[in-house]
Structure 1
Amino acid sequence: MADYPTHPDQMQAGWLAETLGFPADSLRGFSVRPVGTGQMCDSYRLALDWAQGVVDAPATIIAKCPSHDAASREVARTLGGYILEVKWYQTLAHEVGVPRPHCHFARIEEDGVSFLLLLGDLAPAAQGDQLRGAGPLEINLAIDAAAELHAPLWNSPRLAGIDWLQRDTRPIVRALFPSYFAQFRERYAQRLDPECLALGDGLVRKLDAYLAYEPSATTLQHGDLRVDNILFAPDQSACWVVDWQTLSIGAGARDLAYLIGTSISDPAERAALDRPAFDRWTNRLAALGVATDIDALWQDYRLGALSGYFMAVFASMSVERTERGDEMFAVMAERPARQAIALRSLDLL
């Protein structure tokens, strides 16, 4: 059992004050309300009522906790999602340049489920809207943030020594994806057109090749880099990346293809952006000191277009079902399907 609270209902004002670096009696109380649309965790904004005279204390913070939904918690346990996010904040976030929230507290238990994160509140920055999609300024900010994540450990031998990133989930994915896609196809038969669903049939047939593909370069890969997982400043001058439960060692180009494929609602606009977005990303990597093989990375990008569709299928069958979630996963499948078809991604397998 954790010796710290794993939900705001279990928190005492004194514990929270001391955890944030202040005397126990300096926090008179706090209020709680849910925030965000994440389906793997529950997140809350804590408004802190400090005693008079307390200086440099945050007015609000974000508490991130295990999901209230048992199925989502089990998926997180099986795939190690909570471990990945906590370990990211504990060990890597401070040395990787990607913009992200400040972490006040990060602990997890050996069960891989009981955990707590206390993060800086970036309000008035606001979460992107997956259903609406992203505009040019948001996309450019996100591309630059992706490069700042990917550059520091690009092809680094250090990656092999990060033991908590060595979990191989491919056997689980190989076992579950075909049945998940059958359920996905049935659920979305009236929502997605036949061409989009046929892409899934092809992915099932080529699943072994997809899972065995070795990218041309490896680095830290966010794994779910879409606008729902990015906070944007009101004037679109900055962004911050959140939700690190799918962090892995993999292809940075996959993150980029996933971002572009899931974020642009109009297929023609997305098709016109694929290569310029890729060029912006590789140019930013070069500015950060990374030598790249452009042709090989473009192939990684083309194959990465399948990742948004893949995630939509897997996640939609793994987490608590909601009305917004149903439409979000439909969009997450539909947009990358158009991208993968245009880029002939399956032909690479």
Structure 2
Amino acid sequence: MSTDTAIPRSPDDITAEWLSAALTGDAPDPVRVDSVEVRPLGAGLTGSAYSVRARYAANPGGVPDHLVVKLASENHAIRERVSLGYRSEIAFYADVLDRVEIPTPACFHRSISDDGQTFALVLAHMDGHEQSDQIDGCTNEQAVHAVRALAALHGPLWCDPSLTSFTSTAMPLADEQTAYGLGEVTVMAAGITVDRLGDVLGPAHTEVLRRSAAAVGPWLLSRPERFALLHSDYRSDNLLFHAESSEVTVIDWQTLAVGLPARDLAYFLATSLVSEQRDALDRRLVEEYHRVLVDEYGITGYDVETCWEDYRLGLLQAVLVPTLGYAFADRTDRADAIMSTMLIRACEAIARHDALGLIDARP
């Protein structure tokens, strides 16, 4: 499907008729849905997700009866701003999923309008999994599973030449013009964020935030010899953990990018662990991520100390993504609480590991 009228714009459009057509696609044996029960699932800043219970009259492919349908925001201004993100998520399920090994929900349907402002995904609901809370953070066991899964995203396409021309991302591999252009936008976004949250962040964290935003241009150009496909928003709210085993499933691919792999790792550790927990665990978790890359994906010429330095440098990801997302999305009390928590943790990690010093030390 590629036309606006074929794609739901609201939960009222998630009907049995639409779901039947979406699940059938081009298959010769049609799926027939008798009825649907649709309920909101969380509250996204740039889109909406719904839990859908389907009753089938015919289900030749054995599609689960519990699904998730993701749609674009009902706010027109947000849809215009994040249409590239919608395209990125569709591209992940269409073009990337089979090339990586990171655990994701099964996808049964994907469609997007020609202007990129309306889309629909039908995914398996991960029953038995729970979303980790961004403010509370991950447990130690969950963190181990998360960094292993991240290696399963990066390892298969590590320095793959095809990524240098892969444009179906929110941000392709940066050149000087795009890096410094995004740096200017980040400075503006950081200013908006400080205006909103400065009293909560405090002067010390605000200074780190502003300095980090100002360094984004040269930072994006650092370590060009290493790159992989990035999730870019790899944090607790986008991870589903099995309630018993803590194994992880990863969702929300609207920030797909290409860049230094450890940016994802640093972003996760800086935003999804409380600071004391991160200080105690980050060295071990970086070593586990590196072990999986080497042992399971055969990455060579990449020693653990270089990985550690990449992690330190990558910590600026934890300023870049939250400020850009927060400054240009609708403001809510929950968003304020999440962003202030993430940015305080990020600024503490950047200061502790002298991430800005790594940028300053390079020509």
TM-score over 0.5 (shorter chain): yes
Change (3 A) 1:193 1:30: same
- Does residue 103 of structure 2 align to residue 60 of structure 1? no
Aligned partner of 1:252 in structure 2 is: 261
Aligned partner of 2:17 in structure 1 is: 14
1:339 aligns to what SS in structure 2?
helix
1:210 Cα deviation after fit: 2.2
1:192 aligns to what SS in structure 2?
helix
Question: Is the CA contact 2:183–2:215 (under 8 Å) kept in the aligned structure 1?
Answer: no
Change (3 A) 1:344 1:206: same
Matched residue type, 2:136: R
Matched residue type, 1:120: A
Alignment of 1:95-106 (within 5 A): 95-106=99-110
Any gaps of 5 or more consecutive residues in structure 1? none
- Does residue 202 of structure 2 align to residue 199 of structure 1? no
Change (3 A) 1:46 1:249: same
1:28 Cα deviation after fit: 1.2
1:238 Cα deviation after fit: 1.6
How big is each residue's C-alpha offset from its partner over 1:124-158, in whole Å with a ceiling of 9 and x where there is no partner?
31111101101011101101100000100001112
Question: Is the CA contact 2:49–2:71 (under 8 Å) kept in the aligned structure 1?
Answer: yes
Q: What TM-score do you get using the length of structure 1 for normalisation? A: 0.92
Question: Is the CA contact 1:216–1:300 (under 8 Å) kept in the aligned structure 2?
Answer: no
Question: Is the CA contact 2:181–2:217 (under 8 Å) kept in the aligned structure 1?
Answer: no
- Does residue 191 of structure 2 align to residue 182 of structure 1? yes
Question: Is the CA contact 2:51–2:67 (under 8 Å) kept in the aligned structure 1?
Answer: yes
Aligned partner of 1:343 in structure 2 is: 353
How big is each residue's C-alpha offset from its partner over 1:254-301, in whole Å with a ceiling of 9 and x where there is no partner?
101111110111x22211212111100000111121112333332221
Aligned partner of 1:243 in structure 2 is: 252
Alignment of 1:221-232 (within 5 A): 221-232=230-241
Alignment of 1:45-124 (within 5 A): 45-51=51-57, 56-77=62-83, 80-124=84-128
- How many angstroms apart in 1 are the aligned matches of 2:79 and 2:264? 24
1:318 Cα deviation after fit: 1.1
1:90 aligns to what SS in structure 2?
helix
Question: Is the CA contact 1:26–1:54 (under 8 Å) kept in the aligned structure 2?
Answer: no
- How many angstroms apart in 2 are the aligned matches of 1:237 and 1:132? 16
Question: Is the CA contact 2:180–2:218 (under 8 Å) kept in the aligned structure 1?
Answer: no
Question: Is the CA contact 2:7–2:111 (under 8 Å) kept in the aligned structure 1?
Answer: no
Question: Is the CA contact 2:183–2:213 (under 8 Å) kept in the aligned structure 1?
Answer: no
How big is each residue's C-alpha offset from its partner over 1:38-82, in whole Å with a ceiling of 9 and x where there is no partner?
2111111111122389783411111111012334323213xx111
Q: Which of 281-290 and 178-187 deviates more? A: 178-187
Matched residue type, 2:261: G
Question: Is the CA contact 2:8–2:120 (under 8 Å) kept in the aligned structure 1?
Answer: yes
Aligned sequence identity (%): 29
Q: Which of 304-313 and 326-335 deviates more? A: 304-313
1:171 Cα deviation after fit: 5.3
